[in-house]
Copies of this chain bind each other. A is one copy, B any other.
C-alpha cells in the first residue's frame, strides 16, 4: 500500500508551525491542550463568534412568555409559518449583497437547509405520473449529506443515483448543483444537462466571506442557510427562493407534515441577525465597534488560508485547490475564494482521513463525498485556537514511510 518510501519532513526555517493563542475577550475558549483531539469533521461555524461578541447588545433579542404561542406566523402567506420580519430581512440582505434575485420569488423557510433539501425532493417528485422514485444526482465530490438525506427513510418518491458524471438513466432527474461546492469550494454548473432534468442550486456558501460575488443568482430553486451565512448553526434556519408557486406550495406542505412549521424564536432571532449584517454593510447605518460582517469574515478566512497554504507548501505531503482571483461586486475588489472547507489531497497513496486521525485531527474522508480516500475535507470555520492548533500539528504530519 505504500506509494512511496520517501520520508516527508518539514523543511526550511521560514515555515511557521502555528501558535496557540492566548485567551482574549473575543476568544474565551483557549482551553485546548496541545495534544487535544481537534474535530474539523463538521463545518461548525464557530469562527464567527468573535464578530458577534464585538457587536454586543445591538444583536440581542428578547422573548416574553406570552409571545409567539400560535403555530401560525402569517396565515395569509403561502408559507404560513414564515415570520414576516424574517422574509423582509432575507430580501434586504440579498439586495445588499447582490448574490441572488428575490423579485418574483417565493420564500420558504426551513429548519436548516437539510429540511429544505428534503422539501425540494418531495416537491419535485411526481408520483402520479412517475411510478418509480426520481433519481437524485450531484457531481462528485458532492456534499456528503446528499446520499443520506435522500435515502434515509427509503422514500418511494426519490432515490440517490450518485455522481452526476456517471448518470445515464433516461427520464426525469434532480441534479443538486452546489456552488460554491462543498467540499472543494469551486463554482459549479450543472453536469447532466438533459431536457428532463430539474436543478436545485444549493448556494449555502455563495456569500462574500467565502467567494467573490460575481452577480445575482436567479435559478429556479435556490437554497441558503443562516448557519453558513452568519455562523448561527444552532438556530437551524434556512430558506429557499423558489420561482414556481406550485413547487413552493409543495415544499410548504412537506415542512407542515414534517415539523408543522419552523421555530418562531429561531426565525425572529435570525431576522435580527440578518438586519444587523445588512446594517453593517451600509455606509449610513454602520454600528459602533463593528466591521462590515462579510469583510470581517473574508479577512479571517484569508488569513487562515494563507497560513494553511504556507504549511502545506512546506510540508509537501498535500495539495490544495487553487482559485483564480475574480471581481467581487460586493467588495469591489478582485479576490480569490477562501472556502469554508479545505479539500486536501495527499500526494501519497494513503487513507488521508486515517492519517489525520493518527494525529488526533478529525476530518471527513473523501469517500464520503463520492471521491478519493486520499482526500479529506477540513473545516476552516472553527474557533481560532482549534484552527491554530490544527496548522501547528499539520506541520508535523509525515508520510507513511515514517510510520503514519
Contact = CB atoms under 8 A, between A and B. Distances in A.
B263 A111 contact: yes
Copies of this protein, total: 2
A149 B259 CA distance: 10
Interface stretch (A9-17, A58-66, A203-211, A216-224): A58-66
A93 B145 CA distance: 36
Contact of A154 (B127, B145, B265): B127
B260 A112 contact: yes
Contacts of A155: 153-156
B233 A71 contact: yes
A65 B44 contact: no
Nearest to A227: B71
Contact of A153 (B122, B148, B236): B122
Interface string A92-131: 0000000000000000000110110010001000010000
Contacts of A57: 64
Contacts of A64: 52, 56-57, 59-60
Interface in A133-158: 145, 148-149, 152-157
Contact of A65 (B59, B65, B265): B59
A329 interface: no
A118 B152 contact: no
A66 B112 CA distance: 19
A317 B202 CA distance: 55
Given A44-B71, A59-B64, A259 B236 contact: yes
Interface residues of A, number: 64
A110 to B, nearest CB: 8
A254 interface: yes
Interface string A69-110: 111110000000000000000000000000000000000000
A262 interface: yes
Given A46-B70, A153-B122, A157-B153, A234 B264 contact: yes
A29 to B, nearest CB: 11
Contacts of A71: 42, 44, 227, 233-234
A269 interface: yes
Contacts of A300: none
A227 B259 CA distance: 12
A292 interface: no
Contact of A115 (B44, B61, B259): B259
A61 to B, nearest CB: 5
7 contacts: A42-B71, A53-B65, A56-B64, A62-B62, A69-B234, A152-B257, A263-B266
Given A60-B63, A62-B63, 19 more contacts: A44-B70, A46-B69, A46-B70, A48-B69, A49-B66, A52-B64, A53-B65, A55-B65, A55-B66, A57-B64, A71-B233, A114-B257, A152-B254, A233-B260, A235-B263, A235-B264, A235-B265, A236-B262, A259-B259
Closest 6 pairs (CB-CB, A-B)? A59-B65, A154-B156, A52-B66, A52-B65, A234-B264, A263-B266
